[in-house]
């Protein structure tokens, strides 16, 4: 067994005040679920992300891995953020897997298109297109939703 030390570890941690016993009632649940208290419009996309997460290895016949946990997690962050103030009227993106363990989210709004490619490490490569022509592209490392929000607002008229 690798990665497991036989020596006792010592560490310190910040201890959170306990939540109520009721909130913690089902603590040891094994069946994995996603708590989804937001709008119904995101649910098909959540289901899409879960489907992508369960893709088999070599799903593209070129030996690619399924989307990584980091890429899927960033996908969830982006979907959650779409309920933020100012983004409610944004259309929902198309979501597809990309080789190398990432996912691609694509929006269209009039003449503008935005592609966010979430890489396997969770970083985001974006491309803005206007009138069919690329106008800006870059990579955001360790992205915060506030940065993504700025890109999404560009789509709004």
Partner 1 sequence: MPLPKRDLPDFDAPPVVETLLGVQFSSTKQFPTRLYTEYWQRIMSRFPSLELQGPLPAVTEEFGRPQALAFGIQFIQGDESRYWYIDETETRLLQVQKDRFIHNWRRVKDEPYPHYDDIRPRFEKEWLEFCSFLKDEGYDKPAVNQCEVTYVNHIEPGTDGTEVGDLGKVISCWSGSYSGQFLRQPETVTFNVRYLIPENRGRLHIIGQPVIRKRDAKQVFQLNLTARGKPNSSELQDILEWLDLGHRWIVNGFTDFTTPEMHRAWKRKEGL
Interface residue list for partner 1 (CB under 8 A):
1, 4-37, 39-40, 43, 46-47, 50-51, 53
Q: Which of 118, 79, 81 is nearest to 97 (CA)?
A: 118
- Give the C-alpha separation, 106 to 156, whole Å: 14
Nearer to partner 1, 50 or 153 (CB): 50
Angle at 105 between CA 101 and CA 106, to 5 degrees: 140
CB of 72 to partner 1, least distance (A): 11
Chain mean position to CA 88: 18
Contact between 97 and 59 under an 8 Å Cβ cutoff? The reply is: yes
Stated as kind and residue range, the H or E segment containing 95 is strand 94-98
Nearer to partner 1, 6 or 61 (CB): 6
Q: What angle do the packed helices 69-81 and 145-154 form, to 10 degrees?
A: 60
Nearer to partner 1, 48 or 122 (CB): 48
Nearer to partner 1, 19 or 144 (CB): 19
CB of 154 to partner 1, least distance (A): 30
CB of 157 to partner 1, least distance (A): 28
CB of 79 to partner 1, least distance (A): 12
């Amino acid at each position: 067994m690798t990665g497991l030390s036989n020596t006792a570890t010592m560490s310190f941690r910040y201890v959170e005040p306990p939540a109520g016993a009721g909130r913690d009632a089902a603590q040891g649940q094994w069946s994995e679920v996603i708590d989804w208290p937001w709008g119904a419009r995101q649910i098909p996309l959540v289901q899409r992300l879960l489907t992508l997460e369960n893709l088999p290895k070599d799903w593209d016949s070129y030996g690619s891995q399924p989307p990584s946990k980091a890429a899927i997690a960033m996908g969830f962050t982006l979907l959650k953020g779409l309920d933020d103030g100012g983004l409610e009227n944004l259309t929902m993106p198309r979501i597809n897997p990309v080789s190398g363990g990432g996912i691609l989210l694509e929006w269209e709004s009039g003449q503008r298109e935005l592609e966010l490619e979430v890489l396997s490490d969770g970083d985001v490569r974006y491309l803005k297109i206007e009138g069919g022509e690329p106008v800006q592209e870059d990579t955001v490392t360790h992205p915060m939703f506030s940065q993504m929000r700025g890109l999404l607002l560009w789509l709004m008229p």
